[in-house]
């Protein structure tokens, strides 16, 4: 595929993560090798088998919106508040004057996932509906009394399209608008869609990214039951171990990563600082993580970027830290990069799995690496796994050596995405 004549560049980065609520703090933590995975403090998790996560401490959404807009925060679940806050950070970091943008050419693309409700919001409804027999619900009481105990606008706090909705309203973005709900690959797929729209000349400017909080009693109970979570409660900062032989499961987290992505000439015209260029995108499908879907997505993205595997400085891996997932990913990476020993960065080792926000938040690490000329190392990789034939970057940060970076992501069902960044050269 030929590269589009309209080129797309990243000019603003907004990050809220367990290792920093702005770009500077996020980058310093990566350089210092500081983990953001700790015991959960936002609720009492003592009765759960997993009691730690990548949690954002002291997050207050009011700090990120103007006073006149704060009333709207009451209708936003934590995930939506994270999206709004990261979008504001991105606009500030990009030095954007909203009054000089054409609203109809200003788009919003967000990756989003399942937003678990806060338990107190349904507690009264459930209480009146529970029959005297344990485990039974009286549906008649639910209909007559339970439903009336739920706030009329309750659902609007938890719809996944509300991330893009609120961001669009707050920034008067009237251009292309979409919500991508493809699990852990969602925000990379959102980036790919925004990249395509800019290339087709259907917009000039985007806020694109993702947000999700998996740290919620209801959500965490479900994940403890059905997800392969690490059980390292005694050493949470060591729990997320992508590609390591002794990994024992993934770690959940929360956060948001949002970029200002705009057409290159549009960025130059407004005098924007350019971090990096989005040079290629690829997507594929491998049902239930069987086959070479991730490798095909990477090859498609590299082809569009006009780059070969030998020009890639590092791969920013999905690195979920589950046994089967890491083995499948490593085989696909090996298929593309072979004996090149391309360094692997796995950002989940710092922050855990942010779900729909994972791709964009992790991508921010590589955007900053290209811009700063230094690549952080992966944490907790101590013993290579013969079943994961990749070269994981460890130790101290190292200088960037090549002009391209590949960021990959996928879901457990098999949706795969790959984004290629090119180092910006004046």
Could you read off the pLDDT of 374-390 as tens digits, one per residue?
999 999 999 999 999 99
Mean pLDDT score, 200-204: 98
**Using an 8 Å Cβ cutoff, are 112 and 161 in contact?**
yes
**CATH of region 8-116+158-423, choose from 3.40.50.1860, 3.40.50.1980, 3.40.47.10, 3.40.640.10:** 3.40.47.10
Over 70: is that where the pLDDT of 397 sits? yes
**Using an 8 Å Cβ cutoff, are 210 and 356 in contact?**
yes
Mean pLDDT score, 402-415: 97
pLDDT for residue 4: 52
Over 90: is that where the pLDDT of 113 sits? yes
Strand partners, 52: 39
Beta-strand relationship, 276-285 and 415-423: antiparallel
Average of per-residue pLDDT values in the chain: 95
Return the higher-pLDDT residue of 300 and 124. 300
pLDDT for residue 69: 83
The first and second tokens of residue 364, run together, are: 């921010």
Return the higher-pLDDT residue of 143 and 346. 346
Over 70: is that where the pLDDT of 1 sits? no
Strand partners, 353: 252
Alpha carbon separation from 325 to 13, 50, 180, 235 (Å, rounded): 29, 20, 22, 22
Return the higher-pLDDT residue of 148 and 296. 296
- What does pTM read for this prediction? 0.95
| DSSP secondary structure, 213-269, as one string | E--SHHHHHHHHHHS-B---TT-GGGT--TTBTT---B-BBEEEEEEEEEEHHHHHH
**Using an 8 Å Cβ cutoff, are 107 and 205 in contact?**
yes
Share of the chain above pLDDT 90, in %: 84
Given the structure tokens 């990548």, which residue do they identify?
54
Per residue in 255-270, pLDDT (tens digit) is 999 999 999 999 999 9
Domain map of the chain by residue range? Answer: 8-116+158-423, 120-153
Per residue in 49-84, pLDDT (tens digit) is 999 999 998 999 999 988 888 888 888 999 999 999
- Measured between alpha carbons, how far is 134 from 83 in angstroms, rounded to an integer? 39
pLDDT for residue 132: 63
Q: Name the residue among 297, 258, 306, 307 with its Cα closest to residue 415.
A: 297
Return the higher-pLDDT residue of 319 and 426. 319
Position 133 confidence tier, pLDDT thresholds 50, 70, 90: low
Nearest-Å Rg of the Cα atoms of the chain is 21
pLDDT for residue 2: 45
Vertex 11 angle, CA 6 and 16, to 5°: 130
Mean pLDDT score, 397-414: 97
- Measured between alpha carbons, how far is 255 from 195 in angstroms, rounded to an integer? 23
Per residue in 222-232, pLDDT (tens digit) is 999 999 999 99
Beta-strand relationship, 37-39 and 276-285: unpaired
pLDDT for residue 37: 98
Alpha carbon separation from 134 to 105, 123, 137, 139, 144 (Å, rounded): 56, 16, 9, 14, 20
Return the higher-pLDDT residue of 17 and 141. 17
Which alpha helices (DSSP H) does 51-185 contain, by range? 78-93, 120-129, 139-141, 162-171
Count of CB atoms situated within 10 Å of the CB of 335: 14
């Amino acid at each position: 595929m030929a590269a589009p004549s309209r080129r797309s560049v990243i000019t603003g980065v907004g990050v809220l993560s367990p290792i920093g609520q702005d770009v500077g703090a996020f980058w310093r933590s990566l350089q210092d090798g500081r983990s953001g995975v700790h015991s959960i403090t936002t609720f009492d998790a003592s009765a759960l088998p997993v009691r730690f996560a990548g949690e954002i401490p002291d997050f207050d959404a009011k700090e990120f919106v103007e006073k006149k807009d704060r009333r709207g925060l009451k209708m936003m679940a934590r995930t939506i508040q994270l999206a709004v806050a990261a979008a504001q950070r991105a606009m500030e970091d990009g030095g954007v004057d909203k009054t000089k943008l054409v609203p109809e050419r200003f788009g919003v693309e967000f990756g989003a996932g399942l937003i678990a409700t806060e338990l107190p919001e349904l507690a009264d409804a459930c209480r009146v509906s529970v029959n005297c027999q344990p485990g039974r619900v009286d549906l008649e009481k639910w209909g007559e009394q339970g439903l009336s105990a739920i706030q009329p606008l309750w659902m609007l706090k938890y719809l996944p399209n509300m991330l893009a909705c609120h961001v669009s309203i707050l920034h008067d973005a009237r251009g292309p608008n979409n919500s991508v709900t493809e699990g852990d690959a969602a925000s990379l797929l959102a980036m790919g869609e925004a990249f395509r729209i800019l290339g087709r000349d259907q917009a000039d400017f985007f806020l694109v990214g993702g947000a999700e909080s998996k740290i919620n009693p209801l959500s965490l109970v479900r994940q403890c039951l059905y997800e392969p979570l690490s059980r390292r409660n005694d050493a949470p900062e060591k729990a997320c171990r992508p590609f390591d032989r002794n990994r024992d499961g993934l770690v959940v987290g929360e956060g948001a990563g949002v970029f200002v992505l705009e057409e290159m000439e549009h960025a130059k015209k407004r005098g924007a600082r350019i971090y990096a260029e989005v040079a290629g995108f690829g997507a594929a499908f491998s049902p239930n993580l069987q086959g070479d879907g991730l490798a095909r997505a990477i090859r498609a993205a590299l082809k569009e970027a006009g780059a070969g595997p030998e020009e890639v400085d590092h791969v920013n891996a999905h690195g979920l830290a589950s046994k089967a997932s890491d083995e499948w990913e490593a085989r696909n990476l090996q298929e593309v990069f072979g004996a090149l020993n391309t360094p692997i960065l796995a950002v989940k080792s710092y922050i855990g799995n942010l779900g729909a926000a994972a791709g964009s938040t992790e991508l921010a690490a590589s955007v900053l690496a290209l811009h700063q000329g230094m690549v952080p190392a992966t944490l907790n990789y101590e013993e290579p796994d013969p079943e994961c034939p990749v070269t994981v970057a460890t130790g101290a940060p190292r200088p960037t050596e090549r002009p391209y970076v590949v960021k990959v992501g996928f879901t457990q069902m098999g949706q795969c995405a790959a984004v290629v960044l090119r180092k910006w050269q004046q």
